[in-house]
Amino acid sequence: MRVLVTGGNGFLGRAIVEELVARGHEVTSGARRAQPEIEALGARAVQLDLAELDSVRNAVAGHDAVVHAAALTGVWGPRAAFVETNVLGTRRVLQACVEQGVARLVYTGSPSACFDGRDHVDASNDLKYARRFLSPYPETKALAEAEVLAANGRLGLLTCALRPHLIVGARDPHLVPRLLARARAGRLRIVGRGDNEVSLCHVRNAAVAHALALERLDASARHAGRAYFVVQREPVRLWPWIARLCSAVGAPGPRGRVPLGVAYAAGGACELAWKVARRASEPPMTRFVALQLARSHSYSLAPARADFGYEEVVSLEEATAELARAFAR
């Protein structure tokens, strides 16, 4: 297939490009910046601005399928910016796919669209979207995913959504580096009881899931028009796993414990202070982050396994060992 990957130069996007190239597809990566590292992989690179419909149309033209992985991420920032990229940008991708006769679209969603602040343990696909959001990122990912799934079967386009959770890997530019930076600075604290269960996802597993979902998406596919969590087969106890990783890379582990109520209140106070001061930087704590650090959020692989044959190719032990090698000093 001729496949366009939006956000193909990102952490997950690049892994998807690599996986699709390895499977023999003709791959194009769409991004706003130049992509010499993508072209070195044997893929084509084009400029893509999700804010411009003509740019999206030009990037989509000539492709059989699209993996829409581009998004504005983060837990802080103007809601309008998240709406523009994540909701309106996705809407433009859908419009271009229909206009250009694209047959298949796989959308990269987020489990945070369903996170309502309560514990979710081994949750399956029937988990509903949250009714209240503490950050514009999960809100706009939920809105965009709903539009993608509603478009399935309309005007010749088949769609599905995948929700990889806490993606990790050696090239991770955000999650693990920030976590270890706080640990090395002596500022990492356990939030809540410290026994919450969380699912991770190695980036190669997420990429394989996208490739399988795309290749097996047809009118009779059970995953058409549906969303799926994509995670490691085994969840982790978050804070013992973090302590283990810190030890493996030579960093101090979490120091002390902060009750969830205290962290949540501190997050609310930080959000208010940042808004009043109109600061663009991310606050040191937010209500959403406090809940993410303290609550359980683990998800079942059973639906993805049953409906499009997904199985992890990198185990939790292998993923953890890779992180230890990549981030050791």
For the annotated catalytic residues, the residue numbers are: 137
Give the span between the Cα atoms of 9 and 1, in whole angstroms.
20
User: In the numeric block, which tokens belong to residue 286?
Assistant: 């937010």
Cα 44 to chain centroid distance, Å, stands at 23
Give the span between the Cα atoms of 283 and 57, in whole angstroms.
37
Give the span between the Cα atoms of 217 and 163, in whole angstroms.
16
DSSP one-letter string for 70-85: -----S-S-HHHHIII
* Closest to 327 in 3D by CA, of 184, 164, 219, 152: 184
Length of the chain (residues): 329
Contacts of 83 (CB under 8 A, 6+ apart): 136, 140, 143
For residues 207 and 18, is the Cβ–Cβ distance under 8 A? yes
Calculated CA dihedral for residues 60, 66, 69, 71, nearest 10 degrees: 40
Q: Looking at residue 173, what DSSP letter applies? A: S
Strands 190-191 and 120-123: unpaired
For residues 230 and 310, is the Cβ–Cβ distance under 8 A? yes
User: In the numeric block, which tokens belong to residue 150?
Assistant: 């509603």
Contacts of 181 (CB under 8 A, 6+ apart): none
203: left (phi over 0), alpha (psi -120 to 50) or beta: alpha
